[in-house]
Amino acid sequence: MKPNVEIYDTTLRDGSQGEGINFSVMDKLRIAEKLDGFGVHYIEGGWPGSNPKDIEFLAEAKRRKFRKAQLASFGSTRRKGVSVESDDQVRLLLEAETPVVTIYGKTWLLHVKEVLRATPEENLAMIADTVRFLKGHGRKVIYDAEHGFDGFKSDPDYAMATWLAAESAGADLVVLCDTNGGSLPPEISRITQAARAKLKVRIGIHTHNDIGLGVANALASIEAGATHVQGTINGYGERTGNCNLTSVIPTLALKMGKTCMPESAVRRLKEVAQYVDEIANIRHDPRQPWVGEAAFAHKGGTHVNAVQKLVSSYEHIDPSIVGNTRRVLVSDLAGRSNIVLKAQELGFKLQNDTPELKEILNRIKVLEHEGYEFEAAEASLALLISKILKHEEPPFIIDAYHVSIRRDRSTFVCQASVKVRVNNATDHTIAEGDGPVNALDQALRAALVKFFPRLKKVRLSDYKVRILNSVAGTGARTRVLIESTDGRDEWGTVGVHDNIIEASLQALSDSLEYRLTKK
């Protein structure tokens, strides 16, 4: 089906300019393959005239067959005072052998005069010469009108002349760029309409997020007639980022009725967003619209009660449509519905009329008031519910522990001893570690493995500490959150105490107990 709106992904070029983003050539190849399978129409691979990495990527990419996407290289118009045939940067665009070439040129007279130090007429010639030359070599040419909106607001006639120059030379698309990211949706809409009134070629939109309107501006342009949108996965990009495609794509498809991606692709949206974050080695933003972990998370008791009865009461779509899931959070704001839904999610047969429900709810509220937090510690929550529902004794008891640190010449030696009781048997184990918590973890697991061999696979994968009342200074209460894994599953546990070691032991103990009790 021919799309109403084309999706042009520039994660590998514009997105890589974001702070903290550094893709290797192999990273870029993996992302390109993922984007192709996802179904975007264009993948902008890089600027072959700017750095060796992009040259290498484009050389590797042209050996690979993309099933759906067209690969684009990126560059600028010819330089001032140099013929297009003699411009090395334009030559490299041809040598990249991509079916699509995207070039940018100046729209704003301020840049023409103060940055290029060229005449308005020379700038128009630079645009037309480059487009005509690339078209003459069989390339599809997308013309990015840099500072398109600022240029139009400054001098509408000259801005339009630059766009008409690209069209007359054969450009397949003229893309209006809000390069500084400071325009407002009404301005974007008005200028897009002005371009449509004069240009016969299709119009595209490229926005930045400097005032938080990157997505809104792109949608305003599409509403005004643009049929091509450029952006990046997760909104990566210079300064505050580019237009976020993980917001644009579902909004077009599900809210505006525009055909842009197959329905099957939209269902993979969260998967693709997380994949790109993984490659970039960036923690996925839980508050990302549509695809974040918190996008369909419910915490307030009245909200959860309503969702339990009618999901559309507090959800604008079914989360599965974009590959996401509904989550119910448990906190001191929780009501009965939160506990029931969360317990059912964790595998417990809990209903609104279960006698122990009130006790569970009260216990959670007390613990949250003391500083516990169960949103990232569902294993500790599961243990709490299980003990109240089933009235079972824990599989082990820690009778005593001791942690010591001594200096050994230029290094510190951390040692922990733990005494555990399982039924009527006891064990006292001593272990050393890289720090007091690591030593305690090693000693506790070493003691319990003698009784429960399946704990051998369990290891601590993450450890976070939060000071809860910093005004108390060194006497402040500490919350410890621990992530554990057995190589297949992951789970979180929590401990709170004035003593960081005691808080850590609570979380460590919960982690191992949960592994023993979970099916």
Write the pLDDT tens digit of every residue in 186-238. Answer: 999 999 999 999 999 999 999 999 999 999 999 999 999 999 999 999 999 99
Cα dihedral across residues 181, 183, 186, 192: positive or negative:
negative
Per residue in 166-197, is it b (16+ CB within 10 Å) or e — as a string? bbebbbbbbbbbbbebebebebbbbbbebbbe
Tokens of 141: 């040419």
Q: CA 348 to CA 359: how far, in whole Å?
A: 15
Contacts of 204 (CB under 8 A, 6+ apart): 6, 8, 142, 173, 174, 175, 176, 226, 227, 228, 229, 230
pLDDT at 44: 95
Cα dihedral across residues 250, 245, 211, 203: positive or negative:
negative
What is the pTM for the complete model shown?
0.71
Strands 411-422 and 397-408: antiparallel
pLDDT at 429: 93
% of the chain at pLDDT higher than 90: 54
Q: CA 19 to CA 240: how far, in whole Å?
A: 9
pLDDT at position 267 over 50: yes
Per CATH, 6-280 and 397-517 having the same topology is answered no
- For 6-280, CATH number out of 2.40.360.20, 3.40.50.720, 3.20.20.70, 3.30.70.260 equals 3.20.20.70
Domain spans in the chain, listed from the N-terminal domain onward: 6-280, 297-358, 397-517
Q: CA 455 to CA 213: how far, in whole Å?
A: 50
pLDDT at position 335 over 80: no
Q: Name the residue among 27, 23, 32, 22 with its Cα closest to residue 63.
A: 32
> 10 Å Cβ neighbour count for 474?
6
From residue 458, how far is each of 106, 183, 434, 486 by CA, in Å?
59, 52, 18, 4
Contacts of 412 (CB under 8 A, 6+ apart): 405, 406
DSSP-derived secondary structure for 224-256: TT--EEEEBGGG--STT-B-BHHHHHHIIIIIS
Contacts of 399 (CB under 8 A, 6+ apart): 419, 420, 421, 426
pLDDT at 262: 85
pLDDT at position 286 over 90: no
Q: Looking up tokens 């990566």, which residue turns up?
A: 236
From residue 183, how far is each of 140, 149, 177, 220, 378 by CA, in Å?
29, 7, 10, 11, 44
pLDDT at 33: 93
Do 258 and 252 contact (CB within 8 A), yes or no? yes
- 397-517 has which CATH code? 3.30.160.270
Q: How many residues does the chain have?
A: 519
pLDDT at 97: 92
pLDDT tens-digit readout, 32-54: 999 999 999 999 999 997 788 88
pLDDT tens-digit readout, 364-405: 778 878 888 777 788 888 888 888 888 778 899 999 999 998
pLDDT at position 94 over 70: yes
pLDDT at position 252 over 60: yes
From residue 480, how far is each of 277, 329, 374, 405 by CA, in Å?
26, 19, 11, 20
Do 229 and 178 contact (CB within 8 A), yes or no? no
pLDDT at position 333 over 60: no
What helix, strand, coil percent values describe the chain, rounded to 5?
45, 20, 35
Q: What value does the mean pLDDT take over residues 422-432? A: 91
pLDDT at 229: 98
Alpha helices in 169-300 (DSSP H): 185-198, 214-223, 245-250, 263-266, 269-280
Q: Looking up tokens 């119009």, which residue turns up?
A: 203
Q: CA 10 to CA 90: how far, in whole Å?
A: 20
From residue 313, how far is each of 1, 68, 304, 310, 476 by CA, in Å?
33, 38, 10, 6, 41
Helices (H) and strands (E) in the chain — how many of each?
18, 16
Contacts of 85 (CB under 8 A, 6+ apart): 133
Q: How confident is the model at residue 332 (pLDDT cuts 50, 70, 90)?
A: very low
Q: Name the residue among 30, 31, 63, 58 with its Cα closest to residue 46.
A: 58
Backbone angles phi and psi of 410, in degrees to 5? -95, 0
